[in-house]
């Protein structure tokens, strides 16, 4: 059963239209605790049946397992999927602020590995996964341009929350996309980054629209997380725990705005509302989550009066510190 999902340009330049409701496949790599492959595949299938066309993954999600699952799901029907993947974190040298991709040739070979896992000969979108400028930034820009000429990728961009890095990738005016954390709890991108992207035709892919589950209104503050779940720091780290509790107080206030629809739906629709946004990619580990998220986003942008109520709780451009995963 296909839903009436809004279609938006991925960017002003690349000629690719995508569903405004997308899906992120980070959790399929197992970084948020145990995950079942059959549930992951069913989540993709549910999204596809509802009309979702954009699927986002990365080489580092489960050391490539997320890409492998998506490749399995796409087999025999590649044309139904608009696929974005990312590259850069594998074997990143944090001490030297340098990725392993120090030549265009190495970068192309790396993307070829992405393609093999995905069982395809092209990517609709390739993104630099390193969120700040580093020693080999120009290699990524030059390599992505070359791969676009070669037909290996149709569009390219960067995943970052750093405004200077966005501008660096767009120095030539040909960066197609930005992937960024943006939610009711983190409205900082509204200050500089989203207006810049809107002005320059860069399509914005929103990750974290429900703030890694906080805006799903399912936490109480007394949670325990597995050792391999990075959210464990929300409990163990004093600074992050204080912010976690503050976020939960904000969620309580948002309940009055959301009403019967719930805070999760309010948050997903909020993420669709800014004019710079191309697509929103909440994670879904099972078909139930994919169903809920997609149905919520099918309702589209929030009306102005609801945005005014949200602004009173979390002012435009405001929000919390975002810790790296």
Which residues are known to be catalytic? 61
Question: Other C-beta atoms within 10 Å of 191: how many?
Answer: 13
> For tokens 């990524």, what's the residue?
140
| Alpha carbon distances (Å) from 13 to 8, 128, 177, 194 | 13, 18, 10, 17
For the packed helices 304-313 and 263-273, what is the interaxial angle rounded to 10 degrees?
Answer: 110
Q: In this structure, how many other beta carbons lie within 10 angstroms of the beta carbon of residue 26?
A: 22
Going by C-alpha positions, the residue among 206, 135, 133 that lies closest to residue 170 is: 133
Furthest-apart CA atoms within the chain: distance in Å: 54
- 75 near 116, Cβ under 8 Å? no
Q: Do 10 and 42 contact (CB within 8 A), yes or no?
A: no
Q: Tell which residue, 200, 183, 114, 123, has the closest CA to residue 156.
A: 123
Task: Give the pairing of strands 125-128 and 156-159.
Answer: parallel
- Phi first, then psi: what are they for 101, rounded to 5°? -90, 85
């Amino acid at each position: 059963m296909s839903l009436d999902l809004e279609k938006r340009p991925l960017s002003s330049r690349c000629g690719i239209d995508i569903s405004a409701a997308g899906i992120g496949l980070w959790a399929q790599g197992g970084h948020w605790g145990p995950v079942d492959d059959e549930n992951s595949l069913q989540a993709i299938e549910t999204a596809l049946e509802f009309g979702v066309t954009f699927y986002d993954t990365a080489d580092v999600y489960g050391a490539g397992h997320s890409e492998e699952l998506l490749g399995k799901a796409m087999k025999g029907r590649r044309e139904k999927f608009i696929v974005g993947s990312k590259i850069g974190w594998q074997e990143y040298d944090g001490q030297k602020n340098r990725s392993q991709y120090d030549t265009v040739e190495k970068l192309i070979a790396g993307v070829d590995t992405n393609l093999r896992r995905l069982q395809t000969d092209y990517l609709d979108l390739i993104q630099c996964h390193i969120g700040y400028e580093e020693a080999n930034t120009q290699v990524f820009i030059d390599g992505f341009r070359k791969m676009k000429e070669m037909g290996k990728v149709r569009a390219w961009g960067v995943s970052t929350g750093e405004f200077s890095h966005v501008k660096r990738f767009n120095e030539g005016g040909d960066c197609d996309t930005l992937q960024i954390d943006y939610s009711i709890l983190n409205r900082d991108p509204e200050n500089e980054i989203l207006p810049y992207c809107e002005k320059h035709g860069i399509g914005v892919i929103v990750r974290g629209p429900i703030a890694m589950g906080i805006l799903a209104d399912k936490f109480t503050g007394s949670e325990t997380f597995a050792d391999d779940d990075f959210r464990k720091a929300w409990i163990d780290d004093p600074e992050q725990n204080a912010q976690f509790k503050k976020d939960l107080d904000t969620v309580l206030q948002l309940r009055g705005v959301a009403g019967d629809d719930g805070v999760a739906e309010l948050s997903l629709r909020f993420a669709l509302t800014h004019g710079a946004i191309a697509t929103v990619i909440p994670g879904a580990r099972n078909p139930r989550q994919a169903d809920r998220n997609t149905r919520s986003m099918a309702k589209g942008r929030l009306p102005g009066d609801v945005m005014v109520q949200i602004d009173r709780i979390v002012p435009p451009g405001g929000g919390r510190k975002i810790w790296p995963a």
